[in-house]
């Protein structure tokens, strides 16, 4: 989930790919049209489109020898908002990928709101009772 979400965000986090997305939002375009419009090489377009397709951000419709690319605005929005918000809204203990991290985090939390930092511990000790992180 984390890796996949990161992947979608990363796919969009590149200027050339954002431009492709932007023009595809105007209308369906084939690779050679993107080449014309963006004024960049055909392999460069193909490679970026590949990344976008792998992230399921663009659809492809083959007509004759052309590869027409398009985006579904709603799907696109969902591609960003849903994975990210789902990740953010999922409880930490429901994320298997963060099992070890969350265990350490819960230890932190269990320790009556004391930080993991040694200075924090020191301060805590001074002020009375500490049971620390491990």
Partner DNA sequence: ACATAGTATAAGTATATTATTATATACCCC
Partner DNA sequence: GGGGTATATAATAATATACTTATACTATGT
Instruction: Write out the residues near DNA by the rule CB under 7 A.
Output: 10, 14, 16, 30-33, 35, 40-44, 46-51, 60, 64-68, 115, 117-120, 122-123, 126
Q: How many CA atoms lie within 13 A of 81 on its CB side?
A: 6
Q: Which does 49 bind (CB under 5 to 8 A by kind): DNA, its own copies, none?
A: DNA
By beta-carbon proximity to DNA, the closer residue of 10 and 99 is 10
Residue that is written with structure tokens 């052309």 in the block:
66
Residue ranges in contact with its own copies by CB under 8 A? 2-3, 5-15, 17-19, 21-23, 25-28, 30, 32-33, 35-39, 63-66, 68, 73, 76-77, 80-81, 84-85, 87-88, 92, 95, 98, 100-101, 104-105, 108, 115-120, 133-134
| Rounded Cα–Cα distance for residues 134 and 130 (Å) | 12
The nearest distance, CB 53 to its own copies, in angstroms, is 17
- Residues composing the chain: 134
Q: Which does 2 bind (CB under 5 to 8 A by kind): its own copies, DNA, none?
A: its own copies
Q: What 8-state DSSP symbol labels residue 29?
A: E
By beta-carbon proximity to its own copies, the closer residue of 67 and 129 is 67
The nearest distance, CB 75 to its own copies, in angstroms, is 13
Q: What angle do CA 126, 127, 131 make, to 5 degrees?
A: 85
Residue 100 tokens, joined: 């070890």
Residue that is written with structure tokens 């929005």 in the block:
77
Question: Which has the closest alpha carbon to 9: 72, 83, 74?
Answer: 83
């Amino acid at each position: 989930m984390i890796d996949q979400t990161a992947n979608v965000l990363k796919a969009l986090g590149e200027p050339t790919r954002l431009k492709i997305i932007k023009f595809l939002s105007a209308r369906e375009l084939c690779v050679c049209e993107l080449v014309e419009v963006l004024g960049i090489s055909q392999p460069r377009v193909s490679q970026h489109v590949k990344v976008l397709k792998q992230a399921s951000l663009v659809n492809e419709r083959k007509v004759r020898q052309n590869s027409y690319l398009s985006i579904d605005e709603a799907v696109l929005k969902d591609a960003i908002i849903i994975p990210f918000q789902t990740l953010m809204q999922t409880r930490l203990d429901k994320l298997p990928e963060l099992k070890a991290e969350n265990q350490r985090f819960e230890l932190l939390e269990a320790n009556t709101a004391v930080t993991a930092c040694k200075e924090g511990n020191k301060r805590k000790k001074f002020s009375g009772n500490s049971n620390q992180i491990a």
